[in-house]
Chain A
Amino acid sequence: MDKSIDYKSKIRRARICRWITIILVYSILLIPLTPILLMVTWLVAQSISKGPTMGVIPNGFTLENFKFLWAPIQFGLSRYPSIWPLVMNSLILAFGTTAFEIPVAALAGYVLSRMEFKGRMATMKLIVALHAFPGVILLIALFYILNRMGLYGKGLLTLVGVALIKAGLGVPMDTWILKGFFDGIPWDLEWAAMVDGSSRFQAWRKVLLPIAAPGISAVALFSFMGGWGEFLIAYTYIKRKEFYPISVFLYSVIGEFVYVDWGLLAAVALFYMIPVLVFYALAQKTLLKLQLVGAVKG
């Protein structure tokens, strides 16, 4: 009898201990996240409220803030006739980055994965070294190159130049990831096609490319999001307002005025975030996997 009571109390103590552990674990994991979750909730709430919200509950419901989609934008003294040219600039940046980055990286990744040549190992080491090297400290020298190439202060061309630089800084990492993708596809498949008489190019196009396509498009999507979210390089090199991407536009609005129309700002920010959120929802698994190779640099 005595023993069984002792046994029961031991079980109870163990159970309490387990609950304490669980509470402790979840509070360490989740309490630091409250600010982040509050901020995201605020962004949505603020974009549909009439006045500034004090918390995360909308302050009266309105869609007035989203009028910027068809009407001119007015922030304090500065006025933009329409948001769509800015969207266009961001799209040019995003598409340009992808277009410059992916073909070069895919070719190099393929060569490194499938062909033997002198300096292959050295190239791979160089790529890993470049991946570790922080590209942002080269902005001054890149500005020199941009000037020398005649791409500075040329409006649309400058935008293309920014995409070129952004893509160049991403090339080593993407080459590395794509080499990994090609490595994952068994060589036998191409081998079989070539035994059947197709040329190396045919084997590449008909056999390898269809299998590698999902991987390549995932990497392309990553670099597209990189170009869409790009701020620092665009802010540094683009000085004319007509060629601002949305990020630089938002930054100029945040910096310039003391009084800010929070509702409008939140609505534009949310609009800018939508592609990121969609991408985030779609590519969760890839996101966690690619993070491992450092696809999003920290």
Chain B
Amino acid sequence: MPSPLLSPSFFEKIIKRVKGFNFAVPLRIIRRMLPYIFIFPFFGYITLTWIGPVAITIILSFTKTQWTITRMYFSGLDNYFRIFSRDIFVFGALKVTALYVSSVLVINAFFSLLLAILVTYFVKDERIASAIRLVWLIPRITPAVIYALLWRWFIDPQIGLLNKILGLFSLPTPNDWLLTTPYSRILMIVVNGYVGASFGMIIYSAAITSIPRDLFYAASIDGASDLKVIRHIIVPLLKWPIFFVTVWQTLSLLSSYEQILALWAGGAGVARAAGVEVWALYAYSKAFYSAEYGYGAALSVFLVIIGLVFIVIFFKVFGFERMMQPSKVEV
């Protein structure tokens, strides 16, 4: 009695039954086609949600599309002329974006490096270290709306705790954190800084963990202080991860606006009045609050181009291997 696993397969049964026809050829073709059949849904989906939209964004940017997005009127380069000459908000958005990206980047790429070094090198108990890493993950894991709600409470002048804490150190306690300009921008940076810090922290932590212990032992036998170990061993070895996180975060900060939109709730004007309307949010609000889809698309085209350029940089500078393993350390 042969085991069922040894029985001839379905196709072979057919071949035996239908004589006089060589099934080997079509079977071989099917087998060769199989990978393409399996990967086809993936490519279909990618075309629908990535490649198509990139093309549509570019096409829309050359049209004057308003109110109804499906009705396009080609207007040549008009949207671009408007961006460079007539739109008075463009410069403001540019300034806010520059401030936003550079400041949050300091938190996301460099403060997170400090956090990672402290939590990996100084905290000896692995359970405590991963507990701290997990708490740092809270802002990222919390749904954007809840995170915004929590901040709304925290900055509330009546019942929130922020002003009370600041009052203890006799620091300024603005009544309206959301709409008073320097404070609203500080808030924007801090709120987004918390969300991004854990990304760098985890990549750096993995990189530091993968540094061979011998280097640390050798250094400590030679009498190197902790500071020297950090300066001369950890940071130089983390060159690539630091670079990776910096470039990656720059790109994702340039295009992120969800947290700002969630916290400065209430329509188009609020974020602009508060001085926190970054470029990506400006494009979004032009399209979805003013229904100027063509113009919004033209504003987005700049971000699409920046994104494509960054990807080229990624492949040229890092190469495929390094992109797949950002926290690999080469000793």
Contacts and interface: CB of A to CB of B under 8 A. Distances in A.
A136 B206 contact: no
A231 B258 contact: yes
Nearest to B150: A39
A196 B6 contact: yes
Nearest to B191: A35
Contact of A29 (B42, B119, B140, B308): B119
A197 B226 CA distance: 60
Contact of A254 (B149, B203, B248, B249): B149
B249 A298 contact: yes
Nearest to A291: B202
Contacts of B280: 136-137
A128 B320 contact: yes
A54 B265 CA distance: 23
B149 A30 contact: no
A252 B115 CA distance: 36
Interface stretch (B33-41, B79-87, B95-103, B213-221): B33-41
B7 interface: yes
Contacts of A298: 108, 140, 195-196, 198-199, 248-249, 252
Contacts of A104: 41-42, 45
B75 to A, nearest CB: 16
Chain B CB count within 10 A is highest, among A37, A142, A175, for A142
Interface string B131-175: 011111111111111101111111000110110100000000000
Interface residues of B, number: 109
A36 B190 CA distance: 11
B258 to A, nearest CB: 5
B143 A21 contact: no
Nearest to B308: A133
Contacts of B146: 43, 250, 269, 272-273
Given A25-B123, A40-B138, A143-B287, A276 B143 contact: yes
Contacts of B243: none
A57 B30 CA distance: 68
Given A39-B154, A139-B284, A276 B142 contact: yes
A257 B69 CA distance: 31
A141 B226 contact: no
B297 interface: yes
B186 to A, nearest CB: 13
A30 B49 contact: no
A135 B151 CA distance: 26
A36 B194 contact: yes
Contact of A169 (B49, B60, B206): B49
Nearest to B57: A141
B296 A140 contact: yes
B303 A236 contact: no
B201 to A, nearest CB: 9
A287 B194 CA distance: 17
A231 B143 contact: yes
Query: Which interface class (under 10, 10 to 19, 20 to 34, 35 or more) fits A?
Result: 35 or more
Contacts of B150: 39-40, 42-43
B50 A108 contact: no
Given A39-B153, A168-B49, A21 B142 contact: no
A254 B156 CA distance: 13
A138 interface: yes
Given A231-B262, A287-B134, A21 B226 contact: yes
B69 to A, nearest CB: 5
Interface in A221-269: 228-229, 231-232, 235-236, 247-248, 250-251, 254-256, 262, 265, 269
A141 B145 contact: no
B21 interface: no
Contacts of A296: 140-141
A9 B105 CA distance: 44
Interface string B7-30: 111110000000000000000000
8 contacts: A37-B135, A133-B308, A135-B49, A145-B53, A147-B70, A228-B143, A251-B265, A272-B143
Q: Give the top 9 A-B pairs by smallest Cβ distance, nearest first.
A: A168-B49, A255-B265, A134-B255, A141-B53, A229-B143, A298-B199, A108-B42, A141-B56, A117-B35
Interface of A: 21-22, 25, 28-30, 32-33, 35-40, 42-43, 46, 52-56, 103-105, 107-108, 110-112, 115-117, 120, 123-126, 128-130, 132-145, 147-148, 164-165, 167-169, 171-172, 175, 193, 196-199, 228-229, 231-232, 235-236, 247-248, 250-251, 254-256, 262, 265, 269, 272-273, 276, 280, 284, 287-288, 291-292, 294, 296-298
Interface of B: 3, 5-11, 34-36, 38-39, 41-42, 45-46, 48-50, 52-57, 60, 69-70, 108, 114-115, 118-119, 122-123, 130, 132-146, 148-154, 158-159, 161-162, 164, 194-196, 198-199, 202-203, 206, 226, 248-249, 251-252, 254-258, 261-262, 265-267, 280, 283-284, 287-288, 293, 296-297, 300, 303-304, 307-308, 310-311, 314-315, 320, 323-324, 326-327
